[in-house]
Chains A and B, each alone.
Chain A
Amino acid sequence: MTETAFRRMKDLPSTRLLGTGTPMCAGCGGLLSLHEIYDILGENTVFINAAGCMTLLSVYPFTPFRGSWLYTAMGSAPAGAQGIRDALDILLEQKRITADEDLQTVVLTGDGSAYGMGLSATSGAIDRNLDFLYICYDNEGYGNTGQQFSEATPHAAKTSTSKGPRGFPGFKKDLFDIWAANRPAYVATVIGTEPLDLARKIEKAKNIKGPRLIITLAPCPTGWDYDPKETVEIGKLAVQTGVWPLKEYIDGKVAHTKIPRQRKPVEEYLIKQGRFAHLFKPERNEKLLTEIQQRIDAYWDGVSN
């Protein structure tokens, strides 16, 4: 990465643009990311939200946003961004507003909308080359309704709709690749516990036009069943074990931005979360643990840079 304003941790802004006192859960990994992202995006931003945990950020008559916010519905936040972007463009073209009145259109949804119900609207927005930033906070399940499995739930995780001994039988959908296949302007994975990597990617995304996606893994104490104080540790382990590869897609190429030199065994990440407890108790599920480790190893074997 070149010409970044964020070379060291102390370069990160400490403006804290997002207000406090929201009803998010203690230790919310998604909120951690949003704080960091908002500080870099700035207040000339309109967040277009879909149904999910973060819908509760703005509850009448309070809002933590210095900029603007619009709640739409679970399936059509990118279409809300389309309407706002088109309207602002028309007003700018016809000189009915000045350039300093313009807003960045930022879609903010959870994985339920981003990986599932909203994917058709997202696909349409990419096809139309909509100039918008999509931020997905991915807590790997329908968190706001009590963590039922979603299309982003990892294999074997226990959720409130996959309580059996093997947990969730499916596999986490690859939203990064789905986006990248459509050749958008930018796609990146981030996590709030790697703030420097996150800041550089948001900085880059902010200065590109076209459809851009940021997926931030959102460790979720309530949904993943761990003590809220562990959020940062679990986030770091997600990167160190290689479960959550930090990467970006730009100009047709995928590059990994932080390759763990010596990957920790995945069970160090899994054992900290109640949703994976059945892999260790009452006895170790060696077969499943090996399978999960092999899948991660196979991913990194295919990474060239």
Chain B
Amino acid sequence: MTRRLLTGNGAAAWGARLAKVDYVPAFPITPQTEIIETLSEWFDNGEIAGRMTTLESEHSMITAAGAAAITGTRVFTATSSQGLLYGMEMLYTVAGWRAPFVMINVSRGLAAPITLEPDHNDILAARDSGFLQIHCATCQEVLDSTLIAYRLAEHEKVRLPVIVNLDGFYLSFTREPVEIPDPEQAANFVGPFDPESSPLRASTPTSQAVAVLGGSPYSYFRYELHLAAQEALGIYDEVATEFAKQFGRDYTAIETYHNDDAEFSFVMMGCFATKAKEAVDRLREAGWRIGLVRPRLLRPLPEEALQKALGDKKAVAVIDQNISMGKGGVLHTEIASALYDLKDRPLLVSFIGGLGGRDISQEELFEMASTLRDAVEKGESPAPRLLYTANELREIRKLQSIANVERQELNLGKKLGEEQGKGKTND
């Protein structure tokens, strides 16, 4: 074991290296590119065995990843944002192939407008694809989750691809001290790749991913996929427990922070949750009984664990770093559905923030806590809040004013030019 300063991207590449991946189909996209650059260097100088192939798109990249996995190799790939959406058809397809491999997604907001900075609309668009999802908040967690993800994907009762998600810039480019497990110990933990029953081979001819006619066989295969994804919940707990025993780091399906005795909770995914941790610390100093719940697993959704962690709270603030147009926060709906069956469920308050990397300040988190207390006093949840400050709106208005002035001057210049032109022909 060595300790090193690694970015989130570097940690992801180390995860792939320690899992002894055979094959990396790749395509560059910001802020993911550092992952494939790192792996490419290792392949080129012989530090790792196998092959990396740069495809011409993410659609092809995910096709190649799935095809190589069902041919019997351990596959790793990575993408982000627009790339994930470009490959979306194949996400659903290779999950249907039951192709076990691991893909990193470095979360980044979606166009339009085009941006480079993070939010979770990209990864949540893949929510129903059949890929399992592990969401990370630290660089260490990225490395460790990659190892856990291979065990989960390749488990005989699961056989599904897994996405390990980290936030662009905030995590992808932030250096943190990361413990790199001993390679032999990591290899033993992940184990050899088992191609299972019928990999593509001359001696085992097989027709795969064939068409079905009618809803009955279609439903059968879709239900199989769903049941395998549900099965993954228990398997995740087993694998994470074994990981904790071997490596001393515990990754339960949901992370809780000062939550046991709390009256109120924040719920957040990804590395912005570390901002909420700080707010919890400061609010507790001021006498609040408040905690944080952060789902690591989003698919499968650990509903029972969420019920246990949130069922006894007075009110819960779900902070979504995503937005479903015409509805609101996706995590909010997930949590609401998980808690609905409880008799005494907490009040849920929805906040949308952190879109395209917009900061969520401590003051805003304090304000959310106050909103929770007010909601409890009134006995009802307020309408969902879209976080935006008066100052931000003022800045946007200023930019719009500048743009308008520029446009007016341009139009005025054009008009003058035309008039001068006319004058000349009249002469």
A residues bordering B, Cβ < 8 Å? 43-44, 46, 48, 55-56, 58-60, 63, 65-73, 75-76, 78-84, 86-91, 94, 96-97, 100-103, 120-121, 123-124, 127-128
Question: Given the interface contacts A60-B217, A103-B201, does A87 sit within 8 Å of B211 by beta carbon?
Answer: no
30 sampled A-B residue pairs with Cβ under 8 A: A48-B67, A58-B210, A59-B212, A59-B213, A60-B213, A67-B202, A68-B207, A69-B208, A70-B200, A71-B208, A73-B89, A83-B64, A83-B65, A83-B71, A84-B67, A84-B200, A86-B51, A86-B53, A87-B67, A87-B69, A87-B72, A88-B71, A89-B51, A90-B50, A91-B72, A94-B22, A101-B203, A121-B59, A124-B56, A127-B56
Q: Inside 8 A of B132's CB, which chain A residues have their CB?
A: none
CB of A133 to closest CB in B, whole Å: 16
With beta carbons under 8 angstroms apart, the residue of A46, A89, A124, A128 that contacts B200 is A46
- How far is the CB of A38 from the nearest CB of chain B, in Å? 13
- Complex contact B201–A72 (CB within 8 A): no
Interface centre among B59, B69, B89, B200 (most CB of A within 10 A): B200
**A67:B57 contact, CB within 8 angstroms:** no
A68 and B64 contacting across the interface, CB-CB below 8 Å: no
Q: How far is the CB of B36 from chain A (nearest CB, A)?
A: 15
- Which residue of chain B lies nearest to A128 when distances are taken between CB atoms in the complex? B53
Nearest opposing residue in chain B for A76, CB measure: B63
Of B61, B63, B211, which is within 8 A of A58 by CB? Answer: B211
Q: Is the CB of A76 within 8 A of B90?
A: yes
B66 within 8 A of A: yes
Spell out B's residues near A (CB within 8 Å). 22-23, 25, 49-51, 53, 55-57, 59-61, 63-73, 89-90, 93, 200-203, 205-213, 217
Q: Which residues of B contact A101 (CB under 8 A)?
A: 201-203
Instruction: Knowing A46-B200, A68-B205, A91-B72, say if A82 contacts B55 (CB, 8 Å).
Output: yes
Whether B205 contacts A120 by the Cβ 8 Å rule is no
CB distance from B281 to the nearest CB of A (A): 47
CB contacts (< 8 Å) of A46 on chain B: these are 200
Please, which residues of chain B bring their CB within 8 A of the CB of A120? 56-57, 60
Residues in B neighbouring A66, C-beta threshold 8 A:
205
Contacts of A72 in B (CB 8 A): 63, 67, 93, 209
Contact of B209 among A70, A81, A82 (CB under 8 A): A70
B68 with A60: CB separation less than 8 A: no
B50, B208, B211, B213: the one contacting A68 at CB < 8 Å is: B208
Say whether B25 contacts A82, CB under 8 Å. yes
Query: How far apart sit A66 and B217, CA to CA, in the bound complex (Å)?
Result: 23
With A44-B202, A121-B57, A123-B56 as known contacts, state yes or no: A86 contacts B210, CB within 8 Å. Answer: no
Among residues of A, the one whose C-beta sits closest to the C-beta of B71 is A87
CA distance A79 to B69 in the complex (A): 13
**Is there contact, CB below 8 Å, between B211 and A90?**
no
Once the chains are docked, how many angstroms separate the CA of A90 from the CA of B217? 35
Which residue from chain B places its CB closest to the CB of A88 in the assembled complex? B71
* Interfacial chain B residues near A67, Cβ < 8 Å: 202, 205
Measured in the bound complex, the distance between the Cα atoms of B51 and A60 in whole Å is: 33
Closest 3 CB pairs of A and B: A83-B67, A124-B56, A79-B60
9 extra interface residue pairs, beta carbon distance < 8 Å, beyond A48-B67, A97-B201: A59-B211, A68-B206, A69-B210, A70-B200, A73-B93, A82-B25, A84-B200, A87-B22, A121-B63
CA distance A86 to B51 in the complex (A): 8
Are the C-beta atoms of B56 and A87 separated by less than 8 Å?
no
Nearest neighbor of B50 in chain A, beta-carbon distance: A90
